[in-house]
Structure 1
Amino acid sequence: MPARFRFAAAALACLAAAPALADWDRDKLDKGIVAIEAQAEGRLGVALLDLRDRKQWSHRGTESFPLQSVFKLPLAVAVLQQVEAGKFKLDQPITVTRKDFSLFHSPLAKTFKGERNDYPLSELVRLAAGQSDNTAADLLMREIGGPQVVTNMLRDGGITGISIDRYERQFQPEIYGLKGFGWDDTVDEPRFRAELKALKPRLRIGALQAALKDKRDAATPEASVLFLEAFAKGNWLREPAHTAFIEKIISETKIGADRIKAGLPAGSRLAHRTGLGMTTDGINHATNDIGIATLPDGRRFAIAIYLAGSRADANEREAAHAAVARLAVESLR
């Protein structure tokens, strides 16, 4: 195993062996999370890992949850690994055409002019990891060799609880039982939405319920905080400047301000990546947030929150994230 990955493998063993009385008020966490999950009206998974003394706590920590755009953080790391391997340069131009557009959120597609444009690789990383741009993420994934490259990177680093398996243009339609778009297809989002609306509710709901149990494009909360811990330690990348580049992007993002960040005390810092799925028939696929929180006193911890299959509205789901973060801070010893 490469030296830079040994820490993550050792971290997994240490986490499993953590003492029962960790550096968190576990009783407070156990009681508080029950009420938050009830209010969230969905399946809530949480993991906390103190970056000073490695104490941990989790709720449904070994269960799998849909990743949604959380995958864009390990994707960014995988891209930078290939930069370090000499396969790419950060200022290397990547050609984008209109046929490359993916489903849903894409600032790149909204500001696109003409039929083809070149973007520096660094800009695609910024768009994907910072603005959750689906087009940029799919393009980066294709450039590095596909989703399995990211999953293999995680496996090589000792992280077995995160699996990245499909492009955005594939898994988003498949969540609802529709055919995903291939790279030879031009994504027609209005047509997709019309087909989705035309499906009988029982078919949409059935497909969504199956997707909520799918182990593809999914993660466990405990694996997520181990990934974050290794990132905080700089273990995924050889060059500190590359880790700092990604950290700056995910610290400055405006997305998800009402989730974990809203539950942290004033003066805290959060480097994070969110994930959000569609809501159909009153059921939200996923509302997620994982990150590294730094409190005003310098205390740092990794936090992963996944909320799947919730019937609460968007504000209530985000409030649940903030409540978990608040509970985590209040439970620190």
Structure 2
Amino acid sequence: MPFNPLNRRLAIVAGLSVVAGCVPAGRKPPPPAAVPITVQTTPPARPAPTLARPQLPPQPSAGLLNTVQALGAGFDGQVGISVRDIDEGWAVAWEGDVARPQQSVSKLWVAIGVMDAVDRKRLSLTDPVTVTRADLTVFHQPIRALVGKTGYKTTIADLLHGAMTRSDNTANDVLLWRVGGPAAINRMLSDKGIDGVRFGPGERQLQARTAGLEWRPEWAGGWGFLQARAAMTYEARDKALRRYVAAPMDGASANGVTLGLSLLAQRKLLGPPSTASLLTLMRSSKTGPLRLKSGLRPGWTLAHKTGTGQDLGKVSTGYNDVGLLVSPDGHRYALAVMIARTRQPITVRMRLMGDVTRAVIAQASR
């Protein structure tokens, strides 16, 4: 190719361009142009919330727990004790889930059945009732003196008063059959959630079977039954009584009874007027003034129901007292002391019951 000065000039420029694009050895490349950096600002983390300590349910004092345990363990006999704080919800017990004979404690459930029927307009407290000699039962029945040849005219209210304040067996039995009998009471107990309580066959059958007999209609009034029982051997009566205590037809646990009392006090069994009326009757009870009531202090009240079973020699059965204890400031407790079997004298039994009341009051007063 012939020499051209213009081509030479272009070649020199091209060479200089290549040299300018190379970095001599040992030299660092120039820093790149600054690129803006976006920084995302995160707010400071909040401190983890402090977890509140779980609220523990109210508990009875160790002193009361120890006292109830000591009273139960120290008593010479078969006993169940239950103390339930209705307003705080705790309970302490000694053998509180064992079924014990109720005897006349069961009148409480008949009374609730009657008042429930009143609430449902199935009965009225003013309904007239005629009690006849065929209605008479056994043992304690003050109404018997009023029942003549033509019977005794009274009302549901008067029968309820006799059953709950004087523990009249006949008054209670007449009311029992007015509300449908034992099956109706057991249905009510189940429907209202009173667990641990069973109603028996009624006063006449209960007392006859406890002695190892079957009730006869001609025994109405009690004398025929007492004569038949007296004709039995000691061994036969002892066997029947032991069988009854081991598996009572009217069995209830002390915890079951205090549960029922708590539901009553909370108006979960009856309407407010019926609840108030029944508790008034229970506060007016004439029976057992030296049982749970013996431990009361001024300002405290007790609405209660007693029970007393049959004796054989020095053995006593079904000696009970249950009730609602209320402090001067209105705090409520349900108590039950149920002695299934013991040889201890009445004074020792009553002292045990009073000591339970005293223990509850002492704890509340601290």
Same fold (TM over 0.5): yes
Aligned to 2:279: 247
Aligned to 2:43: none
Aligned to 2:89: 54
Amino acid of the residue matched to residue 223 of structure 2? P
Tell me how far 1:202 sits from its aligned partner. Answer: 1.5
Matched, 1:34 2:70: yes
3-state SS in 1 of match to 2:328: coil
Matched, 1:287 2:335: no
Deviations 1:237-270 (A, max 9, x none): 13x2111111111111121110111112222100
Aligned to 2:343: 311
**Which one of 111, 114, 126 corresponds to residue 76 of structure 1?**
111
Matched, 1:257 2:289: yes
| CA gap 1:177/1:283 in 2 versus in 1, 3 angstroms | same
Amino acid of the residue matched to residue 252 of structure 1? S
Tell me how far 1:102 sits from its aligned partner. Answer: 0.6
CA distance in structure 2 between the partners assigned to 1:231 and 1:28 by the alignment:
24
Aligned to 2:305: 273
CA distance in structure 1 between the partners assigned to 2:108 and 2:73 by the alignment:
26
**Which one of 188, 203, 206 corresponds to residue 236 of structure 2?**
203
CA distance in structure 1 between the partners assigned to 2:94 and 2:153 by the alignment:
44
Tell me how far 1:168 sits from its aligned partner. Answer: 0.3
Q: Is the 8 A contact 2:85 2:334 kept in 1?
A: yes
CA distance in structure 2 between the partners assigned to 1:162 and 1:32 by the alignment:
22
Amino acid of the residue matched to residue 259 of structure 2? L
Tell me how far 1:205 sits from its aligned partner. Answer: 1.0
Tell me how far 1:291 sits from its aligned partner. Answer: 0.6
Tell me how far 1:303 sits from its aligned partner. Answer: 0.7
| CA gap 1:209/1:287 in 2 versus in 1, 3 angstroms | same
Amino acid of the residue matched to residue 314 of structure 2? G
Aligned to 1:228: 261
CA distance in structure 2 between the partners assigned to 1:229 and 1:195 by the alignment:
41
| CA gap 1:306/1:269 in 2 versus in 1, 3 angstroms | same
| CA gap 1:264/1:24 in 2 versus in 1, 3 angstroms | farther
Amino acid of the residue matched to residue 123 of structure 1? D
| CA gap 1:188/1:276 in 2 versus in 1, 3 angstroms | same
Structure 1 range deviating more: 196-205 or 153-162: 196-205
Tell me how far 1:194 sits from its aligned partner. Answer: 2.5
Structure 2 matches for 1:142-157, cutoff 5 A? 142-157=177-192
Q: Is the 8 A contact 2:302 2:323 kept in 1?
A: yes
Amino acid of the residue matched to residue 101 of structure 1? L
Amino acid of the residue matched to residue 275 of structure 1? G
Q: Is the 8 A contact 2:264 2:275 kept in 1?
A: yes
Tell me how far 1:224 sits from its aligned partner. Answer: 0.8
Aligned to 2:194: 159
Tell me how far 1:229 sits from its aligned partner. Answer: 0.8
**Which one of 222, 226, 244 corresponds to residue 189 of structure 1?**
222
Tell me how far 1:99 sits from its aligned partner. Answer: 1.3
CA distance in structure 2 between the partners assigned to 1:297 and 1:86 by the alignment:
35
| Bigger Rg, structure 1 or 2 | 2
CA distance in structure 1 between the partners assigned to 2:227 and 2:350 by the alignment:
28
Deviations 1:15-69 (A, max 9, x none): xxxx7x8532235533554345534x21111111112211111111111000100
Aligned to 1:103: 138
Aligned to 1:213: 246
Deviations 1:73-113 (A, max 9, x none): 11111011112222211100011111111101111112334
**Which one of 293, 312, 325 corresponds to residue 357 of structure 2?**
325
**Which one of 206, 215, 218 corresponds to residue 180 of structure 1?**
215
3-state SS in 2 of match to 1:158: coil
3-state SS in 1 of match to 2:246: coil
Amino acid of the residue matched to residue 148 of structure 1? A
| CA gap 1:186/1:193 in 2 versus in 1, 3 angstroms | closer
RMSD value, Cα: 2.0
CA distance in structure 2 between the partners assigned to 1:298 and 1:82 by the alignment:
29
Deviations 1:265-311 (A, max 9, x none): 22210011110112112111111111110122432211111011111
Matched, 1:129 2:164: yes
CA distance in structure 2 between the partners assigned to 1:128 and 1:35 by the alignment:
30
TM-score normalised over the length of structure 1:
0.88
| CA gap 1:141/1:267 in 2 versus in 1, 3 angstroms | same
TM-score normalised over the length of structure 2:
0.80
Structure 1 range deviating more: 80-89 or 272-281: 80-89
Tell me how far 1:215 sits from its aligned partner. Answer: 4.2
Q: Is the 8 A contact 2:159 2:175 kept in 1?
A: yes
